[in-house]
Amino acid sequence: MPDSSPGGTASGYSTAVDLSAGGFLTNEAAGTIIGSADGFLGGSAAAAPVLNSGTIRGYGAVGAVLYGGGYVSNASGGTIAGSSEGIDGASTVINAGTISGRIGILLGTSTGEYVSNASGASIIGGISGGNASVVNAGLVTGGMGLYAGSFLTNEATGTIAGSNVSFSGGGTPASTILNSGTIEDPSGGVFVGGYATAGGSISYLSNASTATIIGQIQTGGPVSVVNAGLVAGVGCGGVSMFGGGFLTNEATGTISEAAGTIGSGGYSDAGFYCGPTGASTVLNAGTIESVPPSVGSAYAASYGISLDGGGFVSNSAHALIYGVSGGVRASLVAATVVNGGLISSGATSAAAVALTAGGLLVNQAGGTIRSAYFSGGTAVVEDFGTLGAVTLGSASSSYGYSTYNEAITVEAGVLSTACRAG
């Protein structure tokens, strides 16, 4: 049986409207549904559609419970609110009004859930659970915690704030995040589980030229990140990949530790960090920095790019890689650095490029590298641009290296051995 509330008030000691046996609910603009526990209850036997233009409120529990899944449409001016969840169990939510709760929307456990939040609409308490597709053009506070394999589109008018955006658990499919708006969580940022599928596809995150991410992008496996906007870590680095991956920073892109927010120093404060469990590829045409150069001398150790897992770095013409303690650092695994732009460091004693496990450094015509440091492994240098002082040092004995400190001559077009493992 349908339940229609055209303009009155429905209330109940526990649940105001109980359609656990099936049916659908239409609550019009002047309608109010209030329960001391749940505002609306739909049963597990059948999906119960909810069309709301008024107010549905669960003071003691959930605004609208849909244990059988189902469809919720909350029109402009409509409110669905609960003390625990605003909506629990829906498979499709179309929101143009306000949904609020400790968790705004708690999705079901099946795949294929869908949430749309229109421009001007609000979801207070975030979105949690489910292998979902989410399109946001409004405001979501409280972040998102979705299963791997989910798809998020944050449009230019969209803001996701107050807690992190996390795609993990629930299996291993690849996830996709397309951000054209603002994602802001200084204490967290964006986490992508980074699982590779059997077919070889990996998770993907795109931050458009109109977009801003305040907080770190952190990945737990192979992920491809393409940035054309601003990524600013707060008390942590800009992008950290644990398990390797691909970073493309376009000409309009900036990846940085936000000014005045440096943490304890080291990899956590790198503009880009690659963990020791996988190599990363970095293609930079914009700016990657640990802190803006104007405040560099005041902060702890930090690098523009730090590669513990090795990999490949390309810095194109007119691009910048900058770190207080060094532009590019590769410490545990050999790495390749190809520069056509500027790689620099803040401290006068810090090398702009430091390869302490060997590798290849190519400085192209027009490229400038303030200085370079090599120790351990076998390193070669090819310079066609402007390369400052080159220093050889001893590798740490903890990595099992004994280093032959040879004189090094760096000439245009000549490969020179810097040092080799003993």
CA distance 319 to 305: 13
In a domain, 67, yes or no: yes
Identify the pLDDT of residue 46.
57
In a domain, 64, yes or no: yes
| pLDDT for residue 397 is more than 50 | no
In a domain, 15, yes or no: yes
Could you give the dihedral angle defined by the CA atoms of residues 128, 92, 147 and 258, in that order, rounded to the nearest 10 degrees? -60
| C-alpha 30: how far from chain center | 41
In a domain, 141, yes or no: no
- DSSP 8-state symbol, 68: T
Identify the pLDDT of residue 404.
33
| pLDDT for residue 292 is more than 70 | no
The vertex-411 CA angle with 409 and 416, nearest 5°, equals 50
Kindly report, residue by residue over 84-98, the tens digit of the pLDDT. Answer: 999 999 999 999 999
Instruction: Give the containing element (helix H, strand E) for 110.
Output: none
Kindly report, residue by residue over 165-189, the tens digit of the pLDDT. Answer: 888 754 567 889 999 999 998 777 8
CA distance 274 to 83: 41
| Number of structural domains in the chain | 1
CA distance 49 to 72: 6
CA distance 223 to 172: 13
Kindly report, residue by residue over 303-359, the tens digit of the pLDDT. Answer: 899 998 899 999 999 999 999 889 999 988 999 999 999 999 987 788 999 999 889
Q: 56 and 86 in contact (C-beta within 8 Å)?
A: no
- DSSP 8-state symbol, 185: -
Instruction: Give the containing element (helix H, strand E) for 73.
Output: strand 71-74
In a domain, 357, yes or no: no
In a domain, 6, yes or no: yes
In a domain, 56, yes or no: yes
Q: The domain containing residue 37 runs over which residues?
A: 1-109
In a domain, 256, yes or no: no
